[in-house]
Structure 1
Amino acid sequence: MLVRAETSNQELSDKLVYVGRCAKVVKGGRRFSFAAIVVTGDGKGKVGLGLGKATEVMDAKEKAVKVARKNMVKIPLRDGRTLHHDITATFCSGNIVMRSAPAGTGIIAGGPVRALLEVLGIKDVVAKSVGTTNPHNMIKAALKALTEIKSPRFIAEKRSKKIGEIVSRRDRQQKDTQE
């Protein structure tokens, strides 16, 4: 359920996640170039990922911001602060497990995944990265997981049920696991 988000350039925050340097050896010496990964979000459920490459760091960052704002997607959030359900995703050798958390937990995640969740607007989540520490793969795995989240409204429409039936069932399951 990948939905492109309509974006206006107001209220968007950008976070530089990673800058990598690459060297090309030529006859006269080394030529350096830079790659930048940027995540952009509005803090209300829209997020985008961008990769930019250039000979200067600032140019690479600007390109990445432009790509991130172009590729923003809408993620359904529960109460505007956490995920609707637990989710697992894999991208290349990067695996990620994300779990919704009660209010006041905060963002328990490391590295590039934390930046993605912050600009998205999630306030309470537990995320565990397994496998690679490559920021490209970790962010893409996290974004893949987030785009696979289904809201109760979507599930209710698909099953031809009411939203109350779906949500009450979820609440009963959470009480059973806590006891």
Structure 2
Amino acid sequence: MARDEGGRGRDHKHEERDSEFVDRLVHINRVAKVVKGGRRFGFAALVVVGDQKGRVGFGHGKAREVPEAIRKATEAAKRGLVRVPLREGRTLHHDVNGRHGAGRVVLRAAPAGTGIIAGGPMRAVFESLGVHDVVAKSQGSSNPYNMIRATFDALGREDSPRSVAQRRNLKVSTIQSRRQGVEADASDS
């Protein structure tokens, strides 16, 4: 009896630890292998996982059954989480381009209240990441795998003022004041 309670407790803790992540199924691909007795179906799942606080990852899983493919993809996504710096916890610090293969994406920071303006797979990435305001455009390939990899390429190029200041041996306030000056000049012209 005590063993059952201990087992349930462990499972409950496992659920609590995993509950911090939000996972989104982006795409399922069904493939058929023709064999002597007919067709054998297999499934490939593409999943995006994030904590909605600046960490996000994606994974790919293949199996004979859909739930198993999703489970494998989710585990792969959790293993490959990356941290993305966000401005005020709601948008990107600067505009950035990304590419993977024939997939190209443009991500632009947006003012508060804009919302997530992005298509399909990119929307899943931003919702899992915790971004509230962003404008994104996919150019080139509409293949979900290439779009997601291009989006992650772009997010990997995202820099925060703190990391830029550290790299240049400057103060964060210096970089922020330069940014304010550039924004003011752009609005004047």
Give the TM-score taking structure 1 as reference length: 0.94
Distance (Å, rounded) in 2 between the aligned partners of 1:171 and 1:91: 33
1:165 aligned partner, one-letter code: T
Give the equivalent residue in structure 2 for 1:51.
60
**1:142 to 2:151 alignment:** yes
Using the alignment, how far apart are the partners of 1:97 and 1:126 within structure 2?
8
Partner of 2:70: 61
Question: Segments of 4+ in structure 1 off by > 6 A?
Answer: none
Secondary structure (helix, strand or coil) at the match of 1:90 reads strand
| Aligned residue among 103, 106, 109 for 1:94 | 103
State the Cα distance separating 1:178 from its structure 2 match: 2.7
CA RMSD across the alignment: 0.9
Matched residue SS, 1:139: helix
What is aligned with 1:129? 138
User: 2-side partners of 1:102 and 1:172: how far apart?
Assistant: 17
Structure number with bigger Rg:
2
- C-alpha deviations, 1:86-127, integer Å up to 9, x for none? 000110000000000000000000010000000000000000
> What is the number of residues matched between the two proteins?
172
Give me the whole-angstrom Cα distance separating, in 1, the residues matched to 2:185 and 2:45. Answer: 45
Q: CA deviation at 1:176?
A: 2.1
SS of 1:22 mapped into structure 2: strand
Once residues 40 and 180 of structure 2 are traced to their aligned partners in structure 1, the CA distance between those partners, rounded to angstroms, is 58
Match of 2:83 in 1: 74
If each structure's helix is expressed as a fraction of its own residues, which one has the higher value?
2
Confirm or deny that 1:115 pairs with 2:124.
yes
Q: Which amino acid aligns with 1:66?
A: E
Aligned residues: percent identity? 54
1:172 is aligned to 181
Q: Distance in 2 between matches of 1:38 and 1:174?
A: 37
Give the one of 28, 38, 55 matched to 1:19: 28
- Tell me, in whole angstroms, the C-alpha distance in 2 between the residues paired with 1:174 and 1:51: 40
Aligned match of 1:4: none
Aligned pairs (5 A) from 1:141-160? 141-160=150-169
Q: Please give the TM-score of this superposition, normalised by the length of structure 2.
A: 0.89
Find 1:41's aligned residue among 34, 37, 50.
Answer: 50
1:168: how far off? 1.2
Between the aligned partners of 1:150 and 1:114, the Cα distance in structure 2 is 21
Q: Which amino acid aligns with 1:37?
A: L
Q: Distance in 2 between matches of 1:49 and 1:178?
A: 38
Separation in 2, partners of 1:19, 1:175: 46
Provide the C-alpha distance between the structure 1 equivalents of 2:170 and 2:33, rounded to a whole number of angstroms. 59
